[in-house]
Structure 1
Amino acid sequence: MPEGKNKLDKLKSAYLYISRNDSVLEEKVGEIKDFIGGEINIDTDYKVFRPDPENTSEDLENYIFTPSLFSSRKIAVIRNIEKFNAKFQKMIAKMLAGDGDAAAVGDGYGEPGGGSGEPSSIVFILTASNEKINKALLDALGKSGSIKRLRPPVGGDLARWLEKKAADDGINFTDEAKNLLIENVNLDQNLLKNEYAKLCDYISSEDEKTIDVETVRYLVSRVYSMKIFDLVDFLGGRDKNGSLAALEEILSEDSNLMGLITLIHRMFKSMLYIKTGNGTAAVTTFLGKNINMPPYFIGKLVSKYIKFSRDYSIEEIIKIFGILNDYDIKFRKGLSDNKDLVKRMIARITDIKT
């Protein structure tokens, strides 16, 4: 570790965030995870505990009493602390206070609460939907940690985020489209981010980067249910069950299915570029020419397609091109019901073998 305090050392022993809005709490935990960056081994030294039978006080003790071989401190995220029993909450209170059996947490690698001037070995990140929390724990948090009440977002917060993000990406939302999108996500910041990303994916091939209210009405309901885009991703990940489930959702609506072939074809053509010749450089150039989006967005697609390409051989991808071409002709000729055609097409793709 570099001299002086690193980001982990700057953290207090515990943080309690209280909000009735789950999205706000998710956002805050995500901010802390991003803040510590590469200074912690996420696989071994960052663990989330939820109020269910699989997360007991013994599990927390085992995690805490196991010294880290990789990080100066470990992170324990406790979701909905108010839903854990009193024994669990009191145990955390003792650890923060350094009392009783919990005092051993500090042996050899820092005392809880930083009493010795060194950082404690554990950082507790607690979330709660209300303040019905054990008094001993609240007292301990007040002394050695931080308690913050987070207000739910309002429409203006989401509107400002959307306006800035769209401006950065070169996309324009009409006022009606912006208001409808925010209304449809029910003031959920994380859901807004997901829906925005998928709207970007859909409009990426358009020369005119303006999203109007009709576009939102048509696209967001589909994206909201994770339909066409999820189906394509499930196919990329060779998840047959996920593909069939997503397909059933798509077919439950009277949607235009022609665009599905285009999205699937683009993904598998990208995979072919990755697996042959110039690899990443070739697929980046291909996507850059075809979807007219900022470089960072292209990079995200490339990373996803690289991951998917590991599950397909070149021979399988070529066979899939044949399937797509065959069904593209059938769609255009209207030789059969579109829903029946897409069922058969997806079945053939999911069953593809070298």
Structure 2
Amino acid sequence: MDYKAAMRDIHKGNIQPIYVCYGTEKYRMDEFVQYLTQKLIDEEHRDFALSKYDLGEVPIDTVIDEAQTLPFLVPRKLIIVRDPSLFIAGGKESAKIEHRVENLIAYLNSPAEYSVIVFIAQGEKLDERKKVVKAVKEKGALISFMPLSAEELLQWVAKQAEQHACSLAPGVAELLVNYAGTHLQTLSAEINKLSLYVGQGGMIDQETVKSLVVRNTEQNIFALIEEIANLRVDRALSIMYDLLKQREEPIKILALIARQFRIMLQVKELTRQSYSQQQIASQVGLHPYVVKLAGEQARKFEGERLASILSSIAELDYEMKTGKKEKVLGLELFLLRLAV
């Protein structure tokens, strides 16, 4: 089931006895759990109608016993369960805890009407071979929380601003993601800060983002390479000097530059093989928006040029680590050569 469809069903009062939330977007999982909690349990009853368990610490039988115990003074209770192993492919089971999964399957066939169980399983894939996964597909609801596409991420940013009664000037959503990265928790915090600054009904413009949002090291490296790709060496060097002032190690800066060029080469090659943006993101383990930006940068370089740059980085890394070349000077010369 898709996240939005599950939210619509809950809004209509169609509540499933068991939900399995899986994927890598923990922020949206937390949003879903919060929404379900608000719909099921009044705030004053949450101390005794809301339970939380971790299957790394307790057996599944404890959760089932809780679900089968009548709620106290409320018509329904909610049980949140962190699951590191039951549903996810490659999940690590605790050697100390024995989970009798057959009891959970039996419970699924006859769930308590007064209990709702939500499993939080962080991981990219469900283990489709497991009987419990098949059972939940038939009797409960599996909800995927994978990274938003590049377009969906920008829409999400705009919607978050709307919820704070603010609007975004053209290009601000892209700029904010370029500055703050793709983590929803971070973006949400930045949007909240920007909204407080411009006030209710205000517009967040590019200058406001540049003034209030601090780029992390990885975002600075991305910006540095963008400047190089556009032959703006002075700006690229300025970003590098800023990083050095922040006490970033030259070898770390070089490693992050290498990572970005490696991503660009991978994206370029997979694009050549007709992979979609989403497929590339899954293949290289990156957010789709990062893949989109890397693809845009990669178009400014030939594949052979990217491979040659990576080879030069490897050589410089060796020289810096063995003391054959002074680190800051090595970085400066490398960036100057890139723009030639």
TM-score range with shorter-chain normalisation? 0.3 to 0.5
Q: TM-score, normalised by structure 1?
A: 0.46
Give TM-score, length-normalised by structure 2.
0.48
